[in-house]
Structure 1
Amino acid sequence: MTRPPSHSSGPVVDLNTAAAVARHARHRGDSTAIGYPGGDLTYAELDEKSARLATVLSEGGTADGDPVAYLGLNSPAFFVTMLAAFRIGALFVPVNFRLADPELIQVLTCSETAVVVCEEGHRASIERVRDRTRLARFLLVDDDPQVPTTGADGWEPWSAAIAASAPTVCAAAKHTDDPAIVMFTSGTTGVPKGVVLTHGNVWWNAVNVEMVLDTRRNDVTYVAAPLFHIGALNSFAVRTLTRGGTVLVRRTFDPQSCVDDLVEHQVNSMFGVPQMFASLARVPGFFDSDLSALRAIVVAGAPVAPSLIQMYAEQGIVLQQAWGLTETSPFATHLPAERTTDKLGSAGLPMPYTQVHVVDVLTGQPVADEASGEIVVRGPNVTPGYWNNPEATAAAFDEQGWFHSGDIGYLDKDGFLYVVDRLKDMIISGGENVYPAEVEKVLATMPGVTDVAVVGVRDEKWGEIVAAVITVAEGIEMTLEDVREYGEGQLARYKLPLRLKLVNDVPRNGSGKLNKPVIRKIAAEEN
């Protein structure tokens, strides 16, 4: 028997989200793609606007592989910019709008970004740092009723540029290994690292989510967590656009408004950090609201108190815990809805197309069930590495291709993951990553400070808060307000301490390194 020739479908499959949106625009263009208080966008409108912006970018010199930054709150402009970049093969760089100027400079410089799309509310931040970056083109979002602007010298009003440009004919074909997004996350030294996420990473995360959560083709997903985080962007938002559903975009999270939206729009899926769900639970009448359409709720991004999940479960609402990082785009594990109560506190099982092991920190060898070690991940949803940072990439991956997360956990006898600590001392406060070394470096320069250590302290509202343990020179008086005031302008506000402990000596071990276990105990003591 003659066999037909063998063909590999992998290299020729187009995974570009912009191509998926264009397909929906052709066949169901009147369907709502983005729901937004400042004006909805249908698929036809979203596709045309992003296609016109793609021309604006291309004619301005942006080419395949070039970074395009976006700075602003959640809005349709975020998605228009992302899709425009994807359309011409450029890289989308969503910038954390909470960054202080030195941090913003690092991100823009490291990403080598020459063009930025910015909202009026963050234009001043760009103005302050532009001369210390490679930025050469500045597009100002001026057509969003939620963000009024009067224009500014040196900035191009994007509405006029978009209106004057013809839409690009088609989206560039992008495949598994082609970079799509560069999303910055701080390193343990406080230096930001650009996590490269490919079109394949984005697509495979969507496949994983599809396999384990009850999501459907025309779902409405709710997005109020910041889109510059991978959790909000790639849990449901991107895949909803790929499938032709509606992304309900809110600029920020407000508990009462969220409840109203969930009921009015019969939202089907939602991602949030624990703080968001704790806030919702405090809204009067929340659990009596009609939430019958809400089928897929993922809570992640910070330590999740089992009591929070239990409280929701008692009301018939299942919060499905997940674990992952920006580098895993984002989910590596997920706790199935039906196991929520009997595996309370677990981060769940490995995603269907993702491998998760726990290894000895020193040897890298797998450990026995119930034994703690470093959590490592491998799969098509895992980043290929860090932007222009081969050293960080080499340090994060071993010879077998396992990504080392820096988190400590264990697998029980049934294969469920429990996260128990963080190898890198990272603090997660309200879903934001805070690295102690970065905060310590700033506070150490404060007049009167002779030694400082920064740790995370458990907090019911934020998951963790930043605590500073400080020694001061003789005769110096210092308050928490003094410390926060000093850190403002150098650190994002979520990195500023919410607790201060003044001590005679900051505990250190025999080699002079900070004794973090002892310091955490001191920081946790009530004043």
Structure 2
Amino acid sequence: MMASNSSCSPSLKERLSNLEGHLRPLAEKAVPLLVADSDPLQVWALVLACQRLGIPLFLANPRWGEREWSQALAGLGSAWRWRQGQLQGDPTSSTSPLGHWQRILPSADWPVIGIPTGGSSGQVRWAVHSWRTLSASARAHQQHFGVECVHSYCMLPLYHVSGLMQAVRSWLSNGQWIVWDWKRQQQAEAWDPPLPGSFLSLVPTQLQRLLLDARPRVLESLRQFQAILVGGGPTWPSLRQQARQLYLPLALTYGMTETASQVCTLLPQAFLQGSDSLGRPLPHARLEIRGEAGDPLPVQTVGSIHVWAESLALGYYPLAGEAEGLGKWQQQGLAPGDWGYLDSQGHLHWLGRADDLILTGGEKVMAAEVEGEIRASGWVEDVCVLGLPDQEWGQQLVAVAVPKVGIPLTADELEEHLKRHLAQQLSPFKHPKRWLWCSGIPRNPQGKVNRQQLRQWAAQTLGIPTQAS
């Protein structure tokens, strides 16, 4: 069962009936549907309708610009799309660009569900899942937390895997799925108390903004959740410390679009007792830490994280296919490019992405840790830490930040404030040597920093030769 805010009208049953009538021409031809809608219940109804009719569905960000839309439609090879409440397309279209996938995939993996993802290239692509992979993730969540019925309070969009999986978990467990508007909840003086045994999912920035205000009646409601899942990026020490002091039941998670969300999750009891790990793997997943030669590493040894899980995506689209080996991850595991280690209790400790590692003066610095502490100051809207060439140190840390609106400080004063803040939190070798200020950090449609573009701009601004950078 589902609950929602005013977006519940018309009912889900009525929406499904109407949608199935509109979508039957696509079902007969098995052509994919590109979906972008800001109404979460409408998106969820489309997911269910496409599953019933056997239509491949690809989720999109409704705020994409025309460039992203053009890329997406070209990649899918289909003109059919659902955009903000309207079905648009060519009724005479008869070709399915996914014919190869349909022929080789087991029936349990058809129709596919594409969730947008991507690195720093700016190109639109999807991690391709199925109801089987999403269900495996949902069942593992139930087993990990020892619950039968999952009530989810959703403030994340459904084109993100964290938002979509909240709906899937509640649907499969006959729980309630409650849609909350993030902006409204952020400004509210009080929240309605959640249903017993409920789950809330947040990204670290959302948690930080809630705690900056720390309204007593909001905190009271937060403490009543069975778990507040925090993923989508690293938490920073001061944020974790504040959450513990307020006795919030955080469940730090490790996962990604390719794994249908969490594959490791720290239980709230362990968090409140002081653990900063990301917990043990869920029942459907297995992790290994491997060295440069691909050999498994012993506990407490830092290396590359490799993941095997029943919830692994089938591959990427449109980049995947025969050449890249459809289903390759299920056999060889997924190496997402993350660094970390497993402790003696099997808990995962995430250190950062391999391409975010900065070597300066013989020391290793993970950019994510420094970025987290800069955000924790509350004085910046956004930040990215880069490693740029330096003749003396090998690489120098450069922080590119967007000042928070309304702070009555000059750039020099803000830099001094941030330096003092970092001096209390991090070792000196982790402090940025140079600071750059801008109005916005370039990101792709999935929110990931376009580091190549940012690195070129920073190098030119600082007078570092482009070739060296």
- Identify whether the pair has TM-score above 0.5, normalized to the shorter chain: yes
Query: In structure 1, the residue corresponding to 2:2 is in which secondary structure?
Result: strand
Choose which of 363, 383, 406 in structure 2 pairs with 1:465.
383
Question: What is the aligned partner in structure 1 of residue 167 from structure 2?
Answer: 237
Equivalent residues in 2 for 1:60-459, closer than 5 Å: 60-63=25-28, 65-119=30-84, 135-136=89-90, 176-213=108-145, 215-217=147-149, 219-234=150-165, 236-256=166-186, 260-263=190-193, 268-281=198-211, 282-286=213-217, 289-291=220-222, 293-342=224-273, 344-360=275-291, 362-390=292-320, 393-394=324-325, 397=328, 400-425=331-356, 458-459=374-375
Deviation of 1:97 (Å): 2.7
**Structure 1, unaligned runs of 5 or more:** 1-31, 138-173, 427-435, 437-454, 472-478, 515-527
Deviation of 1:332 (Å): 1.3
- Code of the residue aligned with 2:6 in structure 1: it is P
Query: In structure 1, the residue corresponding to 2:341 is in which secondary structure?
Result: strand
| CA-to-aligned-CA distance 1:86-131 (integer Å, 9 cap, x gap) | 11011222212333332232223213343222227xx9xx9xxx9x
Q: Work out the CA distance in 2 between the residues paired with 1:74 and 1:333.
A: 30
Q: Work out the CA distance in 2 between the residues paired with 1:513 and 1:310.
A: 40
| CA-to-aligned-CA distance 1:18-61 (integer Å, 9 cap, x gap) | xxxxxxxxxxxxxx5231224456xxx42342133122101x33
Q: Work out the CA distance in 2 between the residues paired with 1:294 and 1:469.
A: 40
CA-based RMSD? 4.0
Paired residues, what number?
Answer: 391
Change (3 A) 1:492 1:308: closer
Query: In structure 1, the residue corresponding to 2:193 is in which secondary structure?
Result: helix
Equivalent residues in 2 for 1:482-497, closer than 5 Å: none
| CA-to-aligned-CA distance 1:461-518 (integer Å, 9 cap, x gap) | 68962468999xxxxxxx9899758979x9788858999856443377xxx563xxxx
Moved more, 264-273 or 413-422: 264-273
- Code of the residue aligned with 1:201 in structure 2: it is T
- Code of the residue aligned with 2:308 in structure 1: it is R
Q: Work out the CA distance in 1 between the residues paired with 2:345 and 2:16.
A: 46
Change (3 A) 1:96 1:179: same
Asked if the contact 2:382/2:402 (under 8 Å) is kept, the reply is no
Asked if the contact 2:289/2:305 (under 8 Å) is kept, the reply is yes
- Code of the residue aligned with 2:464 in structure 1: it is V
Q: Work out the CA distance in 2 between the residues paired with 1:213 and 1:52.
A: 36
- Code of the residue aligned with 2:298 in structure 1: it is A
**Structure 2, unaligned runs of 5 or more:** 92-105, 358-366, 390-400, 404-436
Deviation of 1:240 (Å): 0.3
Asked if the contact 1:298/1:320 (under 8 Å) is kept, the reply is yes
Question: What is the aligned partner in structure 1 of residue 361 from structure 2?
Answer: none
- Code of the residue aligned with 1:35 in structure 2: it is S
Asked if the contact 2:375/2:383 (under 8 Å) is kept, the reply is yes
Choose which of 3, 8, 15 in structure 2 pairs with 1:49.
15
Q: Work out the CA distance in 2 between the residues paired with 1:300 and 1:55.
A: 37
Asked if the contact 2:371/2:384 (under 8 Å) is kept, the reply is yes
Asked if the contact 1:73/1:251 (under 8 Å) is kept, the reply is no
Query: In structure 1, the residue corresponding to 2:113 is in which secondary structure?
Result: strand
Asked if the contact 1:231/1:330 (under 8 Å) is kept, the reply is yes
Change (3 A) 1:314 1:480: closer
Asked if the contact 1:224/1:253 (under 8 Å) is kept, the reply is no
- Code of the residue aligned with 2:349 in structure 1: it is Y
Q: Work out the CA distance in 1 between the residues paired with 2:143 and 2:196.
A: 22
- Code of the residue aligned with 1:420 in structure 2: it is L
Q: Work out the CA distance in 2 between the residues paired with 1:485 and 1:277.
A: 21
Deviation of 1:295 (Å): 0.9
Query: In structure 2, the residue corresponding to 1:233 is in which secondary structure?
Result: helix
Percent identity between the two aligned chains? 20
Deviation of 1:216 (Å): 4.2
Asked if the contact 2:309/2:330 (under 8 Å) is kept, the reply is no
Question: What is the aligned partner in structure 2 of residue 506 from structure 1?
Answer: 464
Change (3 A) 1:113 1:335: farther
Q: Work out the CA distance in 2 between the residues paired with 1:253 and 1:413.
A: 41
Change (3 A) 1:336 1:291: closer
Asked if the contact 1:334/1:351 (under 8 Å) is kept, the reply is yes
Asked if the contact 1:274/1:463 (under 8 Å) is kept, the reply is no
Moved more, 185-194 or 327-336: 185-194
Asked if the contact 1:186/1:192 (under 8 Å) is kept, the reply is yes
Change (3 A) 1:63 1:275: farther
Moved more, 177-186 or 370-379: 177-186
Deviation of 1:213 (Å): 2.0
- Code of the residue aligned with 1:33 in structure 2: it is M
Asked if the contact 2:230/2:250 (under 8 Å) is kept, the reply is yes
Moved more, 276-285 or 247-256: 247-256
Query: In structure 2, the residue corresponding to 1:61 is in which secondary structure?
Result: helix
Question: What is the aligned partner in structure 1 of residue 394 from structure 2?
Answer: none
Asked if the contact 2:34/2:81 (under 8 Å) is kept, the reply is yes
Change (3 A) 1:225 1:269: same
Question: What is the aligned partner in structure 1 of residue 419 from structure 2?
Answer: none
- Code of the residue aligned with 1:275 in structure 2: it is T
Q: Work out the CA distance in 1 between the residues paired with 2:441 and 2:301.
A: 43
Q: Work out the CA distance in 2 between the residues paired with 1:77 and 1:204.
A: 24
Asked if the contact 1:255/1:276 (under 8 Å) is kept, the reply is no
Change (3 A) 1:269 1:356: same
TM-score when scaled to structure 2? 0.71
The answer to whether 1:34 aligns with 2:34 is: no
Asked if the contact 2:251/2:265 (under 8 Å) is kept, the reply is yes
